[in-house]
Amino acid sequence: MSTATDYPFGFLDSYAKKEVRRTVLKAIAIPGYQVPYSSREMPMGRGFGTGGLQLTLSLIGEGETLKVIDQGSDDSVNAVNLRHFIELTCPSINTTTRTQEATLIQSRHRIPEQPLREDQVLVLQVPYPDPLVIVEPSETRRKVMHGEADYSRLLVKLYEDLVHFKEITISHRYPTRINGHYVIDPSPIPRYDVPKLHQSPALLLFGAGREKKVYAVPPYTLAEPLVFDDVPFRTEDFTDRVSGERRACQRCGSRDSFLDEFSDPNTGGKVYQCSDSDYCTQQQEQAHGE
């Protein structure tokens, strides 16, 4: 049976790490540009976070503190499996569930509620890196469109939504323009998280292992959702239509976080809870004076 000593630190060989790091540097130098790289085979299926995992394993160093979340939760199956694998192959690192304690955060589908700092790196797992794929099947043509900043067909798609449904129906993966040029797919984060990309103090990295692409939003970079001048960008609305008040988390009482909807097993009614488990726990601790 293989043990941690059978692998180099971080599982990947030095050549793979160097390539990923060079790719990251290019992605930072050209904000929003999708940089191709030789995505390695990992001991898990593509589509389960292999792109983000390769970024994490290439960047993490001894003594660093790692946090892994899946849709805001530290305890979901995907987050636990990735964390255990990284701990196995990087024995000298620390792990935490606290956002503020982490130097490197790997996430799927969420940006933490706690504001990130300049000394933190957020790695987001991306299934489909190109927002133009919904309007142009040819990658060759998409590259030309990105180079010319030609997103007219994407804007037409948004306009068609407004005509048919009276609102833009994209709930996640909302196309976002970076530094005034490239439009990215910000991974399947909800609209609620898109404003957090704008002028973020932390470095944001996006890894798509299956599609073999990496792109970045460097610290303090413009990130603007693709919208029309007369149709402002809207995030998810958690207002109760009956009371007119914003719904609160049933665990911590927070009214300023992204909420997940559940069905109460006893009453069958809808209940709401913070998506970010660490934020929810901290709110409860503050309420109890801990």
Domain count for the chain: 2
End-to-end CA distance of the chain: 44
Verify whether residue 90 is a known catalytic residue.
Answer: no
pLDDT at 267: 85
Residues 27 and 207 sit within 8 Å (Cβ to Cβ): no
Nearest to 215, CA basis, from 37, 67, 72, 41: 37
In a domain, 199, yes or no: yes
Domain identity same for 188 and 46: yes
Which one of 49, 51, 72, 274 is the catalytic residue? 274
In a domain, 232, yes or no: no
Which residue range is the domain that position 16 belongs to?
4-225
The pLDDT confidence band at residue 175, using thresholds 50, 70 and 90, is very high
Verify whether residue 249 is a known catalytic residue.
Answer: yes
Q: How would you write 152-168 as a 3-class SS string?
A: HHHHHHHHHHHHHHCCC
- pLDDT reading at 177 higher than 70: yes
Domain identity same for 146 and 281: no
Verify whether residue 252 is a known catalytic residue.
Answer: yes
Does the pTM exceed 0.85? yes
In a domain, 243, yes or no: yes
Domain identity same for 207 and 242: no
For the stretch 53-94, pLDDT in tens is: 999 999 999 999 999 999 999 999 999 999 999 999 999 999
Domain identity same for 161 and 261: no
Domain identity same for 206 and 258: no
Composition of the chain by helix, strand, coil, percent to 5: 30, 20, 50
Residues 186 and 200 sit within 8 Å (Cβ to Cβ): no
Domain identity same for 79 and 116: yes
Domain identity same for 54 and 117: yes
Which one of 32, 72, 207, 209 is the catalytic residue? 32
